[in-house]
Each structure stands twice: as C-alpha cells, then as structure tokens.
Amino acid sequence: MKGLKLFAGDQHSLGYPLYIPGEVSVICENSISNDRLVKKVIEECEEEEFDYVVVQWGSWGRVEIYQDGWKQLKPTQYLKRQDNYELSKLWYTKIDSEHLRSSNLWKNVYLLENYLSGRNIKHYFWMVKNNYEPVGTYIEDDSHIKQNHQTDTGNIFRDLSRWKNMETDVSLIGKDMKREDLTDHSILANKIIEVTNDFS
C-alpha cells in the first residue's frame, strides 16, 4: 500500500514508524492519555485520507479531564508532585479504580474501532503490556483505592470489541519492549508490516 499511513501512540511509538516504508504520519506524545489519543486520531482522519491506521494504546492509568481547559493526568504527577498535583491527588485518591480504568480503556477502543470501521479505514490496534499497571502501583497511600477496588467482572465495551484479545509488545516481538532500543523498534516495524500487508 503506497498511500499515507497513520501511526499513533505514546512514547513507545516514536521509533518504529521510522522503519515503515512509504509516506507516514505520526501522532505520538509522551504519556498521552487514551482519551486524548482517540481525539487526535479522529481529528487527523477528518483532515487526511489514510491507507490504514495503527494505534498503540497507552497506560490505562492516564486520563484527560476538563477543569479550566483540558488537562491530562497520570499517577506520577501525584506521586512526584508534578504539574496538576492537586487535581491528580484528588483523582487518584478519591476517584480512580481498576474498574474505572478498564471501562475507560475499552470504551475508547470501542469508540475508535467503530469510527474507523464506519469510515472504511483499515486499522490495527496493539498495546504495551507493562502499561497496564494495577491500581496503587504509583500511589503512596492507596488505602482508598484498595477500599474501592472492584474486580472487572463485566465490561460491555471489551466484550463487544473485536480487539478484546489485541496483541502486546511481548506477543509481537517476544519480550518487553524497550522504547530506547532501536532493534526492538525495527522488529516491531517488521511485524506491523506483516500484519498490514493483509490490508491490501
């Protein structure tokens, strides 16, 4: 396929598109939330026509919320007292839960796959296995999280998604991907090329 291709994801997707032949467009931001990622992909698809779209889903602990403008939150902002500390502290100690994270992830996946299918845009989704840390991993005092922990026993968006068994970096390249390792990116690119060749 010789047309324009779109690759989207977090910092793990900055390297491998360089090894994809042809014309490529890349939407990659360090620690981007899946909420923001979906919006960016849709905005790009409204502006350009793509042969196909490849999306790497980021950490399910990151979110985008609105308070005097859109703000992205991630657990380390609370732990390390970074930007949006007070807002992230409120989110990760009072609201966050594994059930909410899972629901939000699969809602985004289902939304985007249906948008792309509706536009007849071929697409491939994958995820970084280590992005799916359990609740409390980065939280110093996670007593509230543990108290409100809910096992994700039912998720209609995941159940309906054709990507509910999507591949990870481990299944694609045989190990945890190191984003600084160009060899890992090269191997991943070859796997993506194999998959997308079926789109022809």
Assigned domain for 108 exists: yes
Structural domain count, the chain: 1
Structural domain of 111? 5-65+102-136+153-197
pLDDT per residue as tens, the chain (200 positions):
568 999 999 999 999 999 999 999 999 998 899 999 999 999 999 999 999 999 999 888 888 988 888 988 887 776 667 777 888 888 888 888 888 888 899 999 999 999 999 999 999 999 987 665 544 444 444 444 444 444 455 688 888 999 988 888 888 988 888 878 889 999 999 999 999 998 86
The whole-number pLDDT of residue 78 equals: 64
- Alpha-carbon distances of 92 from 33, 79, 85, rounded to whole Å: 15, 10, 10
Assigned domain for 80 exists: no
The whole-number pLDDT of residue 66 equals: 87
Assigned domain for 112 exists: yes
Assigned domain for 75 exists: no
Assigned domain for 76 exists: no
Assigned domain for 82 exists: no
Q: DSSP labels for 133-197?
A: PPTTTT-S--HHHHHT-------HHHHH-TTTT--BHHHHHSSPPPTT-HHHHHHHHHHHHHHHH
The whole-number pLDDT of residue 179 equals: 78
Residue 121, Cβ neighbours under 10 Å: how many?
16
Assigned domain for 143 exists: no
Whichever domain contains 131, its CATH number is 3.40.50.1110
Assigned domain for 90 exists: no
The whole-number pLDDT of residue 148 equals: 43
The whole-number pLDDT of residue 146 equals: 42
The whole-number pLDDT of residue 94 equals: 86
The whole-number pLDDT of residue 154 equals: 64
